[in-house]
A and B are shown apart, each in its own frame.
Chain A
C-alpha cells in the first residue's frame, strides 16, 4: 500500500492580493514557525485574478529553494473560488492579504494577516 502525500493534514497558508517580496517574507515567517513546531506538510495556495498567470512563481522560488525539510504543495486558484474553499475548510488557515481590501467570510478557522 502506497501512502498518500496529499491526503495528509497540511499546515495551510493562503495568499490573496498582489504577490511581492513583502508578502513572501510573511509566508516565510509563518512557514519557519510551522516547521520549527514540527509541521512537515505545508500547502501554499495563491488566489489569482486570472487562472494560468504564473508570474507569482518567480517570487516563490526563494521559498522552494530554501526548503529541504517539509513537503510543500503550491496551488493556484482564481479568486472567485475563495468563498467555496472557505466553506469546505477543515483546518485552520493563515490568510496573507496584500494590497487588497476584501471582505472575508467570518470564519473562526481563518487567521488574516495583512501585509499592506
Chain B
C-alpha cells in the first residue's frame, strides 16, 4: 500500500525499533552504556537498524506500537508505525506522533544498574534523546504537532519535567492504552485540549474484545497470550490489572501475521507463560499443551517472555508439564533450547515474605530458595535457558538477606542461566540529575554482584557455544560477543584486584553439563 501522508505516526527511537539480530537477549546490551568499544559498534550489536519498505514502515516493530496501529486503523485512522529514520518524511503533515518505550531515560532496571556501576548514561537514553532533539520534530511542534508518550515507564516523565516541557510532549499516558488512546486522538481531531497526564486505572483496562489484533509483524514475533498477573508483588505494577487470557484463535492469527511477513520465530508473551488458562496460580495442563502445540505448528523457534519459578516447579512436579512442553518444543527439529526471563529476586525467605508473599505459591514463601533451586534444576535438565533477575537495595533488605542471596547463588552455579542483579533505586533519589552517585552500594551487594557476573560470564560462553548464533551468517556477531565476554572477564578481574578482592573460582561451576 502506497503511503503519502500519515496522520498519526507511531514510533520510537532505534534502541527500541530493532530486533536485536533476532536474539532478544542482546536487547540487554541496549540498556547499558558502550563498554570497551565505540557507541556505534555497541549499537550495531545491540540494536541494528530495522529493515523497512520504501515508505519507512519497519519490517518488525515493538508489539505495543503494533497494537496501537491496529486499534487506530480499525477505527478508521491513517496511523502507521514508522521507523525513526523515516519520521521526517511525514512529520510536516502529521497531526500526532505517539511514542512508546521500555525505558525512556534509563531509570528502570537493568539500565539503572548500569548507571550506578559505570556512572555512564546507557545507550537507550542517549538514543531516545537524539531522536527527540531532531530539528524536524521541533519544527513540527511549532506547527502544532501533538506528541503523546506512553508505556510502562511513563512515570519517568514525572522526574524529567524539564525535558517534558522542552521537547513539547503534550500528554503522558501510563497504563493500558486501548481506551484512552482513542479518546486522545478524538480530542486532537476535534481541536480540543489534551490532558497532561493520564494514569489508566485497573477499571479502565480493556476487555478482550476491545483489544485489536496486530496487522503487521512484531519484533521477533512476539505475541501476547495473556495480560495481568495474580501474584501481587510489592514492587510491581502489573499486578492489580485483571487477568485476561487471549483466545487461541487470536494468538494463532497474530502468529500467522508474523509468519506471512517472514518472521518465523515467536515469543509467547505473558508475565507468567505457565499461567496461561490457569485459574489462580495452578497451571492448566490442557491449555498449556494446546498453546505449545499451536506454537509448534506455526513457529520455527519458540521462546517465552517470562515465567515464574514457582509455576515451573509446580508444573513439572505435579504434571510433568515442563518435560511435556519441551518435548513439543523440540519436536520440530528446529530447536533444542528455549529462552525465558524469570524473577529470582532474592535468596532470603524473610525478604520474600515481605515483598512478594505470593511469588512462591503454591509453596510457602519460607521455601522460596528451594523453589528457586528446584526450578533452575528443572530448567537445566530440560534445556530451558533463563535470564534471571534479582533485586538489590530494597528498603526492606538486610545484610543477612544479602548473605542468603549469595548462598543461593552458589547453589545455582551448576545450572545454565544468566543472572542479572537489578538495583532498586528509591524514587526519591531520581529527583537529582546525578542520582546514580547517591545509590548506596554495600560490600554485600558487591559480593552478590560479582557472583552474578562470574556465573553469567561462564554460562554466556557456554550458551553461545552450544545454542546461540550457530549459523555461519551470524559468525561476526558471535566473534564480537566472545571478544566482549573476554573483555568483561579482564575488566572484572582488574576491578576485583583494585578492590582487593580474592578472585572467585568460576571453574567450580563445571559440575552438571
Contacts and interface: CB of A to CB of B under 8 A. Distances in A.
B298 interface: no
A2 B155 contact: no
A71 interface: yes
Interface residues of B, number: 33
Of B180, B196, B210, most A-chain CB atoms within 10 Å = B196
A3 B210 contact: yes
Contacts of B75: 2
B195 A73 contact: yes
Contacts of A67: 199, 201
Contacts of A65: 155, 158, 427
A76 B196 contact: yes
A70 interface: yes
Interface in A26-76: 40-41, 52, 54-55, 57-58, 60-61, 64-65, 67-76
B165 A52 contact: yes
A5 B182 CA distance: 9
A71 B193 contact: no
A44 to B, nearest CB: 9
Contacts of A68: 201-202, 237, 240
A3 B204 CA distance: 8
Interface in B161-198: 161, 164-165, 174-175, 178-180, 182-183, 187, 193, 195-198
Contact of B161 (A58, A72, A73): A58
A74 B165 contact: no
B159 interface: yes
A1 B210 CA distance: 6
A4 B179 contact: yes
B206 interface: yes
B203 interface: yes
B352 interface: no
Contacts of A3: 179, 204, 206, 210
B161 A71 contact: no
Given A2-B182, A65-B427, A75-B196, A57 B201 contact: no
B222 interface: no
22 contacts: A2-B182, A2-B206, A3-B210, A4-B179, A5-B180, A6-B183, A7-B183, A54-B161, A57-B196, A61-B159, A64-B155, A64-B197, A65-B155, A70-B201, A71-B175, A71-B198, A72-B198, A74-B195, A74-B196, A75-B193, A75-B195, A76-B196
